Amino acid sequence: MSRALAATFALLMLATAAAAAWMTPTLRLAEQRIVDLKDIVPTQFAGWRLDPEQGVIEVPAELQATMSRVYSETLSRTYVNANGERVMLAVAYGKDQSDGNNSVHRPEVCYPAQGFEIGRARAGRIYFADGDLAVTQLVARLETRIEPISYWITVGNRLVGNGSEQKWAQLRYGLNGVIPDGLLFRVSTIDDDSARAYHLQSQFVDDLRRAVLPRHRAILFGERE
C-alpha cells in the first residue's frame, strides 16, 4: 500500500470516528427536568379521588424484571368519582428512550404477558377545550373481565402514535445530540360497553389535564408538531 493510500485510509478512519463521536447523543433530557410522577399526578381533582379499596394487580416476575430495566418510575392508581365510576391509571416513565431496547412497552405487549387477549387496536381522540389528544384504543379480555384501554406514548416532549413515529422521534432527538426520556400513559375501565368506557376515560383525562400544572403537561401529554 502506498503512503498516499495509507494516509487516505487514515483520514477516512479519523473522519468516521469524529462523525460517530459527533452523532453520539450526550445531553440527557431527564437531567434537565425533575419527573416525580407521584408529585405531578394529583390524588384528587374535579370530583375524582383515589379508591382505597382497589388493590394493586400483581404482575409476573419476568414482566416486573423487564419493567424495572426499562422504566425509571411507575405509577399505578385507581380513581373513583361520586357516581361510583372507576378509572384505572398507569404511567410508566423511562429516562432513556434513545433506542428500541429501552423503549416503553405498549399494552399490546404487556397485557398478553399477563394472560389477556387483546382486540384490534384503533386510533382514537380525546378532546379538550383547547385542542385534542391522539390516543390508541383497544379492548383486553381475561375470562369475564373486559377492559377497554386508551393510551399514548411520549418521546421527550413529542406525542408519538405508531412505532414508526416513535422511532423517528428517537432519531431526531439523537441527531440533535439529545437522549430523550419518555413515558406510557394508560387509562382503562372494567366495562363491557367500550363506547361508554372510552367516553368516561375521555372525561377523566380532560379533568386530569386541567388539574396538572402547565409546566408538567408536555411531560404527560406530549406535544404535536
* Predicted local confidence at residue 86, as pLDDT: 96
Per-residue confidence (pLDDT) for residue 28, from 0 to 100: 80
CB 149 within 8 A of CB 213: no
Angle subtended at Cα 193 by Cα 135 and Cα 48, rounded to the nearest 5 degrees: 65
What's the mean pLDDT in 183-207? 95
182 near 104, Cβ under 8 Å? Answer: yes
Mean pLDDT over 72-97 rounds to 91
Poorest-pLDDT segment among 25-29, 66-70, 218-222: 66-70
For strands 145-155 and 182-188, give the pairing.
Answer: antiparallel
- CA angle centred on 123, ends 117 and 127, rounded to 5°: 120
pLDDT tier for residue 144 given thresholds of 50, 70 and 90: very high
114-137 pLDDT tens trace? 889 999 999 999 988 788 899 999
Q: How far apart are CA 79 and CA 44, in angstroms?
A: 8
Q: How far apart are CA 133 and CA 205, in angstroms?
A: 10
pLDDT band at 170 (very low <50, low <70, confident <90, very high): confident
Sign, Cα dihedral of 152, 164, 148, 193: positive
* 130 vs 205: which has the higher pLDDT: 205
Q: What is the pLDDT of residues 32-65, one digit of tens each?
A: 788 899 999 999 999 999 998 765 555 444 444 4
